[in-house]
Amino acid sequence: MKVVLLAGGQGTRISEEVGYRPKPMVEIGGMPIIWHIMKIYSHYGFNDFIICAGYKQHVVKQWFRDYFIYTSDVTFDMADNFNVTFHDKHAEPWKVTVVDTGLETMTGGRIKRVQKYIGDETFMLTYGDGVCDVNVSKILEFHKEHGKIATLTSVTLGQDKGVLDIKEDNSVRAFREKKIKDAVAINAGYMVFEPDVFDYLKDDKTILEKDVLGKLAKKGELMSYYHKGFWQCMDTKRERDALEGLIAKGKAPWIVW
């Protein structure tokens, strides 16, 4: 089964890192975050990836082309026609297709552009900037059981601030500390789709979240697999540093391989 990764956006909220590379290529623990996501899927036996690239898409292609250079010791014999020898060569069991899906294309449009590589098959999809310790095999099992077009993984985003009751005249009538009920469920990505989803993907301007998931929800064709464990996106430098810190401490929940 193919796994589609959305990796084409510019990531403006972490601009200090993406001036010369796409956000999914920003490193945590010495490897791009997209590599961590792929390792999660690979741990559960999913090794066929389609990367929807866009902003600085050549950086993504070059990184995978030079994968052995990043993961092996290398001898460059300059006296012998610049012969290159890789030592202790480690290869992931991956097939990786990197597709230039355009610079300004929306999320749904990017998926539409890789339809020819997916074919008429069920496929998995997630964003290229969030790590999670979810068992993706369980998501697929859940998806097959309910028989709907789409499944997303939901997580609870806790409220960590005081809660205000503000009236129309801007007066604060109540203040209280956070409660469990203040937490909200959000889409953590890690989705599964039937090929019927392509009927909802029109062109480059199609937004997955608004134009597709919203319509599927209204038709009763979108299901949620609730994950109680760890999930974290990397939208800001602060979030990147937090993920880096978990790796440094040996307490990164998503590293299950």
pLDDT range class, residue 252, cuts 50, 70, 90: very high
Predicted local distance difference test score (pLDDT) of residue 164:
59
Domain assignments of the chain as residue spans, ordered by start? 2-153+186-248
Q: Do strands 48-53 and 2-7 pair parallel, antiparallel, or not at all (unpaired)?
A: parallel
137-150: pLDDT as tens digits: 999 999 999 999 99
Please give the pLDDT value at position 19: 67
CB atoms within 10 A of CB 197: 25
Lowest mean pLDDT among 87-91, 181-185, 193-197, 218-222: 181-185
Question: What is the rounded CA–CA span in Å between residue 11 and residue 13?
Answer: 6
Domain 2-153+186-248 has CATH 1.10.10.10: no
Confidence bin at 195 (pLDDT 50/70/90): very high
User: Which among 94, 91, 33, 40 has a CA at the least distance from the CA of 257?
Assistant: 40
pLDDT of residue 80: 82
What span, in angstroms and rounded, lies between the C-alpha atoms of 220 and 218?
6
Closest by CA position to 236, among listed 15, 32, 10: 15
DSSP for residue 67 = H
CA–CA separation, 30 and 32 (whole Å): 7
CA-based torsion, 157, 162, 167, 168: positive or negative: negative
**pLDDT above 70 covers what percent of the chain?**
87
Helices (H), 72-166: 107-113, 115-118, 136-146
Of residues 89, 36, 95, the one with CA closest to residue 64 = 95
* 64-73, 176-185, 206-215, 217-226, range with the lowest pLDDT: 176-185
Task: Determine the pLDDT at residue 176.
Answer: 60
pLDDT digits (tens, 9 = 90+) for 91-134: 899 999 999 999 999 999 999 999 999 999 999 999 999 999 99
* Contact yes or no for 10/18 (Cβ under 8 A): yes
Query: How far is 139 from 135, CA to CA, in rounded Å?
Result: 7
Residue 33 pLDDT: 97
Instruction: Note if the pTM is more than 0.95.
Output: no
Q: How many helices (H) and strands (E) does the chain have?
A: 8, 16
For the ranges 68-77, 202-211, 225-234, 246-255, the lowest mean pLDDT is seen at 68-77
74 within 8 A of 84, measured Cβ to Cβ = yes
Q: Which amino acid is at 68?
A: F
Residue 253 three-state SS? coil
Q: What are phi and psi of 93, to 5 degrees?
A: -85, 50
Residue 129 Cα distances to 16, 25, 188, 232, angstroms: 16, 9, 10, 9
